[in-house]
């Protein structure tokens, strides 16, 4: 850590100049929003319609006596999807408003039927443990100027070597309590220390920070090995970024309490991106997609998910972030074509993904595909179109394409993987 | 308030450090203590080792009797087994658990298998018992939840046998372990077998194989025919068959619905009907292989547990896991040579893990391993041991609470160890469910949470030491924290804090003490001595020598 840079950044924070600095810096590189549908969605409900002879899909839930409760393929803005206006009206509304901004990717082969293995693959583009996920990589690449890289609203985030510029929100939005002492849990009645404890004066905090940094600098010069040296550097950076986070004045925009819906997280995610606090966010759909039983619940889950995608897309447009933000919706797997005895489904290793360009420059298209039995079809890696002579689309190819799109060299993280650029061009 | 003169007169004679302190042996002592207890050595312990490095082994052996050693064993196994999750396999405060805090219930359920392991380790019984014993551990909550005997006048946690006829398979037969690794209609207990193999045999099938499945409709055929699948499933499936009889999973909502419907037969009222003997042969109904290991049949889960404990990889994996924990490495990254050395120690002492731990923390490798981020549990224990402060909060008392006590209140939360209400993952820890890999470096949330914790801990210790007489003081031996003092006692006190908190045995006039005095004087000039001592203690508790030892 260069002391001059440290002093400059700390000084900017203390003078309240951080927020505009962050906002200006964030206008450059691309922002990324990833929404993870934990558990494995049934993509045949909406995104990858199949004949009812081949899959149970949503069809077996229809009420034959209700003409409005029928699933049928409907095409809006160039995207064919399975429409059911009684059970999933928000899906139709979303495509009515935003189909021209949406690229649907079908036949995305994850190749795993275990959740954690699948999550690692779909979010990081690799099977290797310890590797950072895509939002972290994109965020970190733009955070050298002192900003945070990514904010993880989802517990599935993996920061790899970027702990110093990546933060978690916490299951109940605990980050807010770190920044706002007034919302901290009270102590036990007999506690020695009252809470909230009045924070130390700025000069005391600065004196402590200076003492910590001085000792870190001395230790870094004596570090016995590169790993220790790197961890000391991370500590130094983290102290600076923590101070900056405190100075940014974002606490009131952070969610607090039981974060049980994506709808509750979207406003905070938009605010963090807009304020330049981070360059990427990882959100969770907050829906129980792993429906080994009670599969019909996925109707409501898709309805809420698409309603939230509409809110997010509109929010990005309204805040002027449409042109430099990409939204990707991923699930680590899909569901087997037939219901089990508990009216549920099992895991399926080929899934779908959504890419949203809020500016509407790319969309209204479906890339990749599956056959009637939900097996992936070969595609032309350059166009994304299904061709007999192609190869199936791997999760790593989509990840590499996304990294390239966000100005991160995919070869550095996913060497030898051919990026799927078509989804982002 | 005692006067300064009286204070100085009563101050104990410290063990004087040698003229030239061997920093390496001091640092090794700190690391050994943190590795096996998650707390730092006392100043006297450091000085004794500095004066005579051969004292380290005696110190280490003495630490085996510290309750913090048992806590650390539980922490370690919670990490490896993915236990202490926030939301998996919990129970409502209902039936015999009515009136209990939800947090206490959640804690107790996951703690039972960990208590069993710690009991085996700390009493020196062969480590294989963690897989083969017919006992579990019960406190009042788990006794009610599982229908176990518990003597009210005895200790909180008591060793007791299962009463539902489940196999003698230690933690493999424990309800919390099997709830954590739920089974499904097609999983057939494979997740449980895989998790246990990863933990106790260091065979991580998911990472090793990761086959690319194209047609899971034929997956059950593939696991029998496809060479890519067979490599793992030949081992996994017979082991998984041994878990039949354990319930796939019981949700908290299942229990609530059962009570609401009056607890009819086959309902999920307490004690939880998790073992079902009539399902133990269920593998036959699904054309699955018979329970077995290494191509030999085993007698159900108890037989599998014995076969695993007899497997040569069990001892090696035990040695590997403990040393990985002590050094902050991934299990796979421990050098094979060290694993062999430590395995030999374990086997020479008939599976007594205490000897393995002693050998591991005395190994030269611990001294040269890279700095590691102190785990949240260790951080909390370290600060409590130094200051007496417990970082807690009451979610039920906050005005912003949005979880009214529908079926019970949550209770007081240990903020460093909780994910649901605390900061474990924001401090770099794991949550046992989504976050299975600990952070290897500090983060901004780590810095913010640490500052909150240390500010309160510093206020606490300054406050209680100001009120206490010398023998009962924790940190302040040479000054009255709330009184202005002359340079000499301040420097002496600062040097003591350098030793007690940072593990630096330095003279009063050492440059690092002078730098800390600068901090002290700067704050004292603005806010007075008590605030200055708080600032110094808080800063030291945030120092890299504490959080990145």
Q: Three-state SS string across chain A, please?
A: CCHHHHHHHHHHHHCCCHHHHHHHHHCCCCEEEEEECCCCCCHHHCCCCCCCCCCCCCHHHCCCCCCCCCCEEEEECCEEEEECCCCCHHHHHHHHHHHHHEEEEEEEECCCCCHHHHHHHHHHCCCCCCCCCHHHHHHHHCCCCCCCCEEECCCCCCCCCCHHHEEECCCCCHHHHHHCHHHCCCCCCCCCCCCCCCCCCHHHHHHHHHHHHHHHHHHHHHCCCHHHHHHHHHHHHHHHHHHHHHHCCCHHHCCCCCCCCHHHHHHHHHHHHHCCCCCEEEEECCCCCCCCCCCCHHHHHHHHHHHHHHHHHHHHHHCCCHHHEEEEEECCCEECCCCCCCCCCCEECEEEEEEECCCCCCCCEEEECECCCCCECCECCCCCCECCCCECEEHHHHHHHHHHHCCCCHHHHCCCCCCCCHHHC
- Inter-chain residue contact A166 with B443, CB threshold 8 Å: yes
Nearest CB among A111, A114, A211 relative to B515 is that of A211
Q: Of all helices (H) and strands (E), which one includes residue B392?
A: strand B392-393
pLDDT score recorded for residue A114: 85
Q: B445 to chain A nearest CA, in Å?
A: 6
Q: B446 to chain A nearest CA, in Å?
A: 8
Q: Quick one: closest CA in A to B86, which residue?
A: A171
Residues of A in contact with B431 (CB under 8 A): 155
Does residue B374 register a pLDDT over 70? yes
Q: B398 to chain A nearest CA, in Å?
A: 6
Does residue B16 register a pLDDT over 90? no
Give the tens place of pLDDT for each residue, A72-81: 999 999 999 9
Q: A85 to chain B nearest CA, in Å?
A: 31
Number of Cβ within a 10 Å radius of residue B471: 7
Does residue A422 register a pLDDT over 60? yes
Binned at pLDDT 50, 70 and 90, residue B521 comes out as very high
Rg of chain B in Å (alpha carbons): 26
Phi/psi of residue B364, each to 5°? -60, -25
Number of Cβ within a 10 Å radius of residue A318: 12
Q: B137 to chain A nearest CA, in Å?
A: 29
Three-state DSSP class for B138? strand
| Cis peptide leading into residue A392 (ω within 30°) | no
pLDDT score recorded for residue A113: 79
Nearest CB among B441, B459, B460 relative to A231 is that of B441
Q: Which long-range contacts (CB under 8 A, 24 or more apart) does A6-9 make?
A: A6/A213, A6/A236, A6/A240, A9/A146, A9/A240, A9/A244
User: How far is it, in rounded angstroms, from Cα B358 to Cα B355?
Assistant: 5
Residues of A in contact with B451 (CB under 8 A): 242
- Inter-chain residue contact B213 with A186, CB threshold 8 Å: no
Q: Which residues are paired to A329 by β-bridges?
A: A35, A354
Give the tens place of pLDDT for each residue, A215-245: 999 999 888 899 999 999 999 999 999 999 9
Buried b or exposed e, range A89-117, using 16+ CB within 10 angstroms = ebbbbbbeebbbbbbbbbbbbbbbbbbbb
Does residue B34 register a pLDDT over 70? yes
Closest CA to B175 of B38, B33, B271, B66: B271
pTM of the complete model beyond 0.90? yes
Q: Is the dihedral of CA B222, B225, B229, B234 positive or negative?
A: positive
pLDDT score recorded for residue A2: 41
Distance of CA B313 to the CA centre of its chain: 23
User: How far is it, in rounded angstroms, from Cα B92 to Cα B108?
Assistant: 13
- Inter-chain residue contact A171 with B419, CB threshold 8 Å: yes
C-alpha distances (whole Å) from B386 to each of B76, B124, B529, B540 are 22, 29, 20, 11
Q: A319 to chain B nearest CA, in Å?
A: 27
Q: What's the ipTM?
A: 0.92
Report the range of poorest mean pLDDT among A223-227, B221-225, B365-369.
B221-225
CA terminus-to-terminus distance, chain B? 36
Q: Quick one: closest CA in B to A157, which residue?
A: B435
- Inter-chain residue contact B370 with A225, CB threshold 8 Å: yes
Does residue A7 register a pLDDT over 80? no
Residues of A in contact with B400 (CB under 8 A): 183, 256-257
| Token output for B217 | 């409709």
Q: Which residues are paired to A334 by β-bridges?
A: A348
pLDDT score recorded for residue A27: 44
User: How far is it, in rounded angstroms, from Cα B61 to Cα B68?
Assistant: 13
Q: Which residues are paired to A74 by β-bridges?
A: A81
Give the tens place of pLDDT for each residue, A14-38: 444 334 334 434 445 799 999 999 9
Query: HSE-up of B65 (CA within 13 Å, CB side)?
Result: 4
Q: Which residues are paired to A355 by β-bridges?
A: A103, A328
pLDDT score recorded for residue B184: 75
- Inter-chain residue contact B393 with A227, CB threshold 8 Å: no
User: How far is it, in rounded angstroms, from Cα A421 to Cα B498?
Assistant: 56
Higher pLDDT, B437 or B448: B448
Binned at pLDDT 50, 70 and 90, residue A53 comes out as very high
- Inter-chain residue contact B426 with A174, CB threshold 8 Å: yes
Phi/psi of residue B337, each to 5°? -60, -40
Buried b or exposed e, range B385-417, using 16+ CB within 10 angstroms = bbbbbbbbbbbbebeebebeeeebbbbbbbbbb
Residue B408, by phi and psi: left (phi above 0), alpha (psi -120 to 50) or beta? left
Which residues numbered 310-339 in B keep a CB inside 8 Å of some CB on A? 330
Q: Which residues are paired to B138 by β-bridges?
A: B158
Residues of B in contact with A126 (CB under 8 A): none
pLDDT score recorded for residue A28: 57
pLDDT score recorded for residue B1: 42
Q: Which residues are paired to B297 by β-bridges?
A: B292
- Inter-chain residue contact B213 with A113, CB threshold 8 Å: yes
Dmax (CA) of chain B: 84
Give the tens place of pLDDT for each residue, B179-206: 999 987 678 999 999 999 999 999 987 6
| Token output for A327 | 């939204």
Give the tens place of pLDDT for each residue, B452-468: 999 999 999 999 999 99
Mean pLDDT score of chain A:
91
Q: Quick one: closest CA in A to B213, which residue?
A: A111
Which residues numbered 251-310 in B keep a CB inside 8 Å of some CB on A? none
pLDDT score recorded for residue B9: 45
Residues of B in contact with A175 (CB under 8 A): 426, 445
- Alpha helix (H) residue ranges in B249-310: 252-260, 300-310
Give the tens place of pLDDT for each residue, A295-327: 999 999 999 999 999 999 999 999 999 999 999
Three-state DSSP class for B161? strand
Binned at pLDDT 50, 70 and 90, residue A129 comes out as confident
Does residue B49 register a pLDDT over 70? yes
- Inter-chain residue contact B442 with A225, CB threshold 8 Å: no
Which residues numbered 432-461 in B keep a CB inside 8 Å of some CB on A? 433-437, 439-449, 451-452, 455-456, 459-460
Give the tens place of pLDDT for each residue, B93-150: 999 999 999 999 999 999 999 999 999 999 999 999 999 999 999 999 999 999 999 9
Which residues lie closer than 8 Å to A361 by C-beta, 6 or more apart? none
SS (H, E, C) B398-429: CCCCCCCCCCCCCCCEECCCCCCCCCCHHHCC
The answer to whether A164 and A311 have CB atoms below 8 angstroms apart is: no
User: How far is it, in rounded angstroms, from Cα B188 to Cα B173?
Assistant: 16
Buried b or exposed e, range B512-521, using 16+ CB within 10 angstroms = bbebbbebbe
User: How far is it, in rounded angstroms, from Cα B81 to Cα B171?
Assistant: 10
């Amino acid at each position: 850590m260069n002391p001059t840079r440290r002093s400059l950044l700390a000084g900017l924070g203390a003078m309240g100049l951080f927020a505009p600095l962050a906002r200006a810096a964030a206008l450059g590189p691309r922002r990324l929003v990833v929404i993870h549908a934990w558990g494995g969605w049934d993509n045949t409900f909406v995104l990858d319609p199949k004949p009812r002879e081949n899959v149970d899909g949503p069809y077996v839930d229809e009420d034959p006596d209700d003409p409005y409760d029928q699933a049928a393929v409907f095409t809006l803005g160039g995207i064919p999807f399975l429409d059911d206006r009684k059970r999933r009206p928000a899906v139709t509304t979303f495509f009515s408003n935003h189909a021209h901004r949406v690229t649907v990717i079908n036949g995305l082969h994850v190749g795993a039927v275990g959740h954690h293995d699948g999550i690692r693959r779909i979010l990081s583009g690799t099977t290797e443990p310890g590797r950072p996920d895509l939002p972290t990589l994109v965020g970190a690449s733009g955070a050298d100027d002192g900003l945070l890289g990514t904010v993880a609203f989802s517990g599935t985030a993996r920061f790899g070597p970027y702990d110093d510029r990546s933060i978690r929100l916490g299951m109940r939005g605990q980050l807010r309590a770190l920044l706002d002492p007034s919302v901290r849990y009270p102590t036990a009645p007999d506690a020695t220390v009252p809470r909230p404890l009045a924070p130390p004066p700025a000069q005391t905090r600065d004196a402590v920070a200076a003492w910590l940094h001085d000792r870190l600098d001395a230790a870094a010069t004596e570090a016995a090995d590169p790993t220790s040296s790197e961890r000391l550097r991370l500590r130094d950076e983290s102290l600076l970024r923590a101070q900056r986070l405190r100075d940014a004045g974002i606490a009131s925009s952070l969610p607090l309490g039981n974060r049980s819906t994506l709808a509750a997280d979207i406003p905070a995610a938009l605010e963090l991106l807009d304020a330049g606090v981070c360059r990427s966010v990882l959100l969770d759909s907050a829906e129980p997609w792993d429906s080994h039983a009670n599969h019909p619940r996925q109707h409501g889950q898709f309805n809420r998910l698409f309603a939230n995608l509409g809110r997010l897309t509109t929010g990005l447009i309204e805040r002027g972030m449409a042109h430099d933000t990409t939204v990707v919706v991923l699930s680590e797997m899909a569901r087997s074509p037939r219901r089990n005895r508990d009216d549920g489904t099992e895991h399926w290793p080929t899934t779908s993904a959504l890419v949203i360009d809020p500016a509407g420059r790319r969309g209204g298209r479906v890339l990749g595909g599956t056959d009637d039995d939900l097996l992936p079809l070969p595609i032309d890696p350059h166009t994304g179109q299904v061709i007999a002579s192609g190869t199936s689309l791997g999760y790593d190819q989509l990840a590499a394409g996304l990294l390239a799109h966000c100005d991160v060299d995919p070869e550095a993280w996913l060497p030898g993987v051919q990026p799927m650029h078509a989804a982002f061009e | 308030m005692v006067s300064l003169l009286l204070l100085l007169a009563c101050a104990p004679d410290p063990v004087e450090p040698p003229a030239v302190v061997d920093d390496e042996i001091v640092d090794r002592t700190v690391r050994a203590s943190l590795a096996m207890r998650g707390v730092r050595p006392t100043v006297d312990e450091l000085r004794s080792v500095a004066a005579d490095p051969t004292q380290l082994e005696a110190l280490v052996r003495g630490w085996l009797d510290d309750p913090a050693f048992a806590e650390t064993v539980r922490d370690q196994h919670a990490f490896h087994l993915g236990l202490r999750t926030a939301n998996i396999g919990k129970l409502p405060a209902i039936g015999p658990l009515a009136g209990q805090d939800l947090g206490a219930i959640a804690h107790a359920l996951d703690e039972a298998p960990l208590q069993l392991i710690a009991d085996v380790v700390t009493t020196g019984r062969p480590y294989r018992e963690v897989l083969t014993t017919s006992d579990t551990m019960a406190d009042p909550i788990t006794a009610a939840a599982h229908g176990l005997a518990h003597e009210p006048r005895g200790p909180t946690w008591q060793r007791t046998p299962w009463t539902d006829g489940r196999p003698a398979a230690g933690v493999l037969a424990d309800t919390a372990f099997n709830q954590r690794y739920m089974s499904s209609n097609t999983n057939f207990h494979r997740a449980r077998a895989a998790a246990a193999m990863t933990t106790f045999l260091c065979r991580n099938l998911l990472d090793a194989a990761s086959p690319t499945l194209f047609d899971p409709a034929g997956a059950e055929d593939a696991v029998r025919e496809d060479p890519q699948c067979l490599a793992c499933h030949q081992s996994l499936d017979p082991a998984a068959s041994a878990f039949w009889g354990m319930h796939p999973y019981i949700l908290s909502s299942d229990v609530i619905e059962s009570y609401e419907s009056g607890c009819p037969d086959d309902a999920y009222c307490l004690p939880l009907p998790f073992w079902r003997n009539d399902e133990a042969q269920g593998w036959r109904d699904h054309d699955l292989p018979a329970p077995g290991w290494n191509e030999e049949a085993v007698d159900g889960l108890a037989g599998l547990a014995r076969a695993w404990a007899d497997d040569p990889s069990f001892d090696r994996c035990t040695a590997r896991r403990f040393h990985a924990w002590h050094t902050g490495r991934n299990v796979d990254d421990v050098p094979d040579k060290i694993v062999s050395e430590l395995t030999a120690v374990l086997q020479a002492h008939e599976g007594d893990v205490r000897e393995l731990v002693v050998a591991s923390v005395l190994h030269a490798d611990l001294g040269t391993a890279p700095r590691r981020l102190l785990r949240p549990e260790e951080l909390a224990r370290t600060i409590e041991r130094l200051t007496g402060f417990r970082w807690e909060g009451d979610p039920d008392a906050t005005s912003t609470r949005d979880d009214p006590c529908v079926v019970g209140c949550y209770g007081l939360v240990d903020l460093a160890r909780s994910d649901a209400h605390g900061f474990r993952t924001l401090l770099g820890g794991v949550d046992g469910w989504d976050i299975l890999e600990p952070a290897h470096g500090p983060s901004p949330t780590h810095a913010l949470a640490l500052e909150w914790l240390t500010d309160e801990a510093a206020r606490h210790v300054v406050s209680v030491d100001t009120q206490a007489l010398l023998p009962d003081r924790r940190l302040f031996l040479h000054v009255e924290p709330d009184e202005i003092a002359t340079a000499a006692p301040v420097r002496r006190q600062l040097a003591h804090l350098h030793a007690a908190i940072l593990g630096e045995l330095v003279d009063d006039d050492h440059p690092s003490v002078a730098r800390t005095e600068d901090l002290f004087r700067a704050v004292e000039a603005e806010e007075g001595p008590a605030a200055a001592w708080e600032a110094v203690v808080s800063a030291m508790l945030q120092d890299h020598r504490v959080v990145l030892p």
